[in-house]
Amino acid sequence: MSDDDNNVLPANDPATRAVDELFNSFITDETPGAIVIVLRDSEIQYESAYGLANLEENVLLSADHMMHIASMGKQMTGLAVMMLSEDGLLKYDDPVGRHIPELEHFGEDFTIRTLLNHTSGLADYDDGITDALFELSDEPTNDDLVTVLSQMDGPTNEPGTEFLYSNPGYDLLAVVIERASGMTYPEFMQSHIFDKLGMTHTFSLPNPQRRNGPMVAISYTLEDEAPVAYPFDSLDNLVGSGSIYTTVGDMALYDEALYGDELVAQSTLQDAFQPAQLKNGSSEPYGFGWELEEWNGESYIAHSGAWLGFQSDYVRFPERHFSVIVMLNRDYDIPDSDERIALQVAEFYLK
C-alpha cells in the first residue's frame, strides 16, 4: 500500500489513483516495495512509497530510504567525465591509454568517447573478464580490472564498429576519472556532485553504509518462491558502471541541477544527449550514460538499472521540465509491460 503522507497530489487525482493502482497491483504491506517521485517545473508533483524496506523487522518503506540505482548511475559517471573535460584534464577523443598507460596497446581508437557510448568493443563481465578478476581477488577492484585488461591483446571487437553494452567500460571510466583528478571515484563523486547539490543521502560504493546504514533499504530476490535478502556481492568494490546509493529526494536535486549550469554548462551537457556514431555512418541511440528514446514522437532521455536485488528507472522529458524516478528493492514479480515502469508512470501525467 502507498505511504499517503508523501502524496503531493490529492488522493482523488486521476494520475494519483492510476499510480497507486499500478504499484498496489504487485506490492502489499508485507512485501518488498518501491518508491516513486514525479517532478514537474521544479516541483514534486507526486511522491509515494509502497511496501517494506525490511521484511524481517517489518519496516515500512519511505521516501527517505536509500536504494542502489545500479546502471541508472552511469550518467553520473558520464557527468564526472564531462566535468573533467571542462577543466581541461581530458578530452572525449583521448585514447584511453593516454590516461591509463597499461592499456596503451588498445590503440588510438579505443577512446574515452567509445567507453561512454558503449562502442569501445570491450565485452561485458560475462565474457571471461569476471573469471580473470576472481583469479586475482575474491573481491576485485577497478585496479584489478586494469590488470586483467592489460593482459589482453585489445578489446573484443574493433572500437567504433558496433554498440556493445559494457559494464567494464564504465568501470574503466572510473579509473580515468581517478587518474585525471587524483581522487578516488567515491571521493570525486562526493565532492563534485553529491556535496555540491546537498545530496546528503547519496554515496558511492565501496562504503560500509551499504550494509549498516539504518536508512538503506534491504533488497530482495526470490528463492524457492519466497523473498530472501540479497547477499553481499563479490563485485561490490567495482565502481563506475553502477555503484551509487541514493534517495528519490536527492535524485530530485540532481534532476533539477541538470537544467542549470551548477555542475556543467548546458552547452557541455548537450554532449551527453548525442547519439553514438559508428564508423559505418550509422548511429545508436545512446549518449554519455543516457538512453535516447521516443514516446509518441517526442524525444526523452532515460536509463534503468538492476543489481543486488534492486531495480531503478529514470525518465526525463527536458522540454517539458518533467521527470519520473522509480526505485524498487525487489527484482521479482514486477508486471511485464512493453514500456519501462517510469514511463508507465509518466504516461498517467502526460496523456
pLDDT of 208 reads 82
Strand order in the sheet with 43-50: 43-50, 34-40, 322-328, 310-317, 298-307, 291-295
Among 59-68, 120-129, 162-171, 180-189, name the one with the lowest average pLDDT: 120-129
pLDDT of 351 reads 82
CATH number of 4-70+186-350: 3.40.710.10
Whether 133 has a pLDDT exceeding 50, the answer reads yes
The average pLDDT across 119-142 equals 93
pLDDT of 209 reads 80
Q: Please tell me the pTM assigned to this model.
A: 0.94
**Domain boundaries along the sequence of the chain:** 4-70+186-350, 74-181
Among 50-64, 222-236, 268-282, 292-306, name the one with the lowest average pLDDT: 222-236
Confidence tier at 211 by pLDDT (50, 70, 90) = confident
Whether 272 has a pLDDT exceeding 90, the answer reads yes
pLDDT of 280 reads 97
Contact 170, 81 (CB under 8 A): no
The average pLDDT across 291-315 equals 97
> How many angstroms separate the CA atoms of 105 and 84, rounded?
24
Backbone angles phi, psi at 36, to 5 degrees: -130, 140
Per residue in 323-347, pLDDT (tens digit) is 999 999 999 999 888 899 999 999 9
Whether 8 has a pLDDT exceeding 60, the answer reads no
CA torsion 183-174-77-200 (nearest 10°) is: -40
Contact 166, 123 (CB under 8 A): yes
C-alpha cell at 185: 571515484
> How many angstroms separate the CA atoms of 153 and 156, rounded?
9
Return left, alpha or beta for 348; rule: phi > 0 is left, psi -120 to 50 is alpha, else beta: alpha
> How many angstroms separate the CA atoms of 133 and 233, rounded?
14
Confidence tier at 63 by pLDDT (50, 70, 90) = very high
